[in-house]
Amino acid sequence: MSKKPATVQDVAQLAGVSAMTVSRVLNAPGKVAPETLERVRHAVDALGYVPNAMASGLRMARARMVAALLPTLVGPVFQELVESLAESLKRSGYQLMIGQAGYDATREEEELIRALIQRRPDGIVLVGKVSSAGARSALLASRIPVVETWDFTDDPVDMLVGFSHVAIGESVADFLHARGHRHVAIITGDDARARARAEAFIRRSNALGALSARCFYTRAPSTLGAGRKGLAALLQDAADISGVFCSSDSLALGALIEAQHQGLQVPKQLAIVGMGDQSFAQDAQPALTTVRLDGTRIGEIAAELTMARAEGRPVDSPIVDVGFHLVVRDST
């Protein structure tokens, strides 16, 4: 029995194809006929072949790896985006590496991004806008394709796929006002995106004639317990609040539980709006009205933009606003 590791030539010979075809199967399976794909993969399994990723990366000058930085790895908020991004990349032979950047705009963001750049990924996908001037400068100098997501700006580092948090805050304010609510409040996380929504919600509500719109801030990432605590604090300060916007469905579910605990009828006495349209939102009692964000589409577009830039293909629209949708259910 040979002690030498199997080579790409060994796989090609067993599968009855060229070494180039084996390379395509390993690096871009979506471009190979299903029958050929099956033969090559069978040969790979039979020989126990493991490609040398380092050598392959040097030959191709690309690692076929994309890095994604998320504020948190806990909770379902970004799950849809990550699953879509990973699947879209996988179909074209790219791997996804995930890191946690946190919610705070601190020096850690710059250090983490510089560490990623040193590994020379084919692209970097960020949840949120780059907040550090140093990180922005490093990304521009690296010439690595960058896609900022889950936010909006006219001046991204490179490319952007997201939506306006200001528009979300204003839209929910309009919705509650149209439903007759003049005593409104918001329970929100304290990160930059959540603050932008909250400030827009309060500003629009007051402009529409709300009687002193109120705000309760909680640490991100938000929790069900924070939703309960937030509503309790708001009601203690102003018992006449009739409409509450929560910056996540978890906060909204907590607020719903607290409202029921205090004997308030939802939506007759208190309307509650969440954000995210998580899987439990439609199953709550009453079902939560919430802002739907299309994480699947964001992931797909971010993947395509990253791969296009990495492979030298033109990008027609480097800035894509996917918008949002208010899903009206029984809680309002």
Those residues with Cβ within 8 angstroms of residue 68's Cβ, 6 or more apart along the chain or in another chain? 82, 85, 96, 97, 98, 99, 124, 125, 126, 127
pLDDT of residue 74: 75
Give residue 17's region: left, alpha or beta (phi > 0; psi -120 to 50): beta
Helix (H), strand (E) at residue 299? helix 295-310
Q: Looking at the predicted structure, is the pLDDT value of residue 58 above 50?
A: no
What is the predicted pLDDT for the residue at 55?
53
Q: What is the pLDDT of residue 100?
A: 87
Q: CB–CB of 155/136 below 8 Å?
A: no
Longest pairwise C-alpha distance within the chain? 83
Pairwise pLDDT comparison (182 vs 141), residue with the higher score = 182
Closest CA to 198 of 235, 230, 157, 236: 230
Domains 60-163+295-322 and 165-292 share a fold: yes
Decide if pLDDT at 4 tops 70: no
Q: Report the chain's mean pLDDT, rounded to a whole number.
A: 90
Phi first, then psi: what are they for 179, rounded to 5°? -85, 5
HEC assignment per residue over 115-151: HHHHCCCCEEEEECCCCCHHHHHHHHHHCCCEEEECC
Is residue 2 pLDDT above 70, yes or no?
no
pLDDT at 1 over 50: no
Lowest mean pLDDT among 88-97, 105-114, 285-294, 307-316: 105-114
Top-level CATH class of 165-292?
A: alpha beta
pLDDT at 59: 47
Q: Which of these CATH numbers, 3.30.70.260, 3.40.50.2300, 2.30.40.10, 3.40.50.300, describes 60-163+295-322?
A: 3.40.50.2300
- Cβ atoms of residues 149 and 122 within 8 Å: no
Tokens of 172: 């929910």
Q: How confident is the model at residue 112 (pLDDT cuts 50, 70, 90)?
A: confident
Mean pLDDT of 187-207: 96
Report the alpha-carbon distance of residue 213 to residue 257 in Å, rounded: 22
Distance CA 257, CA 251 (A): 10
pLDDT score for 222 = 86
Indicate if the pLDDT at residue 51 is higher than 70.
no
246 pLDDT above the threshold of 50: yes
Q: Would you say 183 and 211 are in contact if contact means Cβ atoms under 8 Å apart?
A: yes
Instruction: Give the per-residue pLDDT at 297.
Output: 97
Listed by start position, the domains of the chain span 8-51, 60-163+295-322, 165-292
Lowest mean pLDDT among 13-27, 101-115, 177-191, 268-282: 101-115
- What sign results for the dihedral spanned by CA atoms 155, 158, 159, 160? negative
As a whole-number percent, the residues of the chain with pLDDT over 70 amount to: 92
pLDDT at 6 over 80: no
Over residues 107-133, the mean pLDDT reads: 87
Q: Answer yes or no: is pLDDT of 104 > 80.
A: no
Provide the percentage of residues in the chain whose pLDDT is more than 90.
Answer: 70
pLDDT at 28: 81
